[in-house]
Structure 1
Amino acid sequence: MSTPQGLREHEFATFKTATLENGMKVLVPQFIKEGDTVRIEVASGKYMERVRRGTRKS
């Protein structure tokens, strides 16, 4: 995933555009950094959550 640097003062209130490995562009929260793994809702293409490495949801 590729995304610009976040704005610290608006870290949780605003979104920025990120380009996923497959070329899809999605809006993600400011705290998402380049290289993070995110979960996207397939039907709408909306950001759902950041996926932490080494943890798995059941």
Structure 2
Amino acid sequence: MVLLVFRSRFAAFYMVVWGLVTAASRMTALGLEAWPETLIRIANGGVPLVILIHWTAKRK
């Protein structure tokens, strides 16, 4: 909601970091066998990353 209404770059960056950290935590908690779950959850950081890159490129 914050991204759509306010276009907050800080919120997008926070979502990127949080999504990637939680995806990586699967590997640290469950071991290397959890790589499929990590790939599924990497999108939680990937989608805001694409939005952030788009906004940054559009700004320049």
TM-score normalised over the length of structure 2: 0.23
| Structure showing the higher strand proportion among its residues | 1
The structure with more radius of gyration: 2
- What TM-score, normalized by structure 1, do the two folds share? 0.24
Report the structure, 1 or 2, having the larger helix content: 2
Greater RCO structure (CA 8 Å; 6+ sep): 2
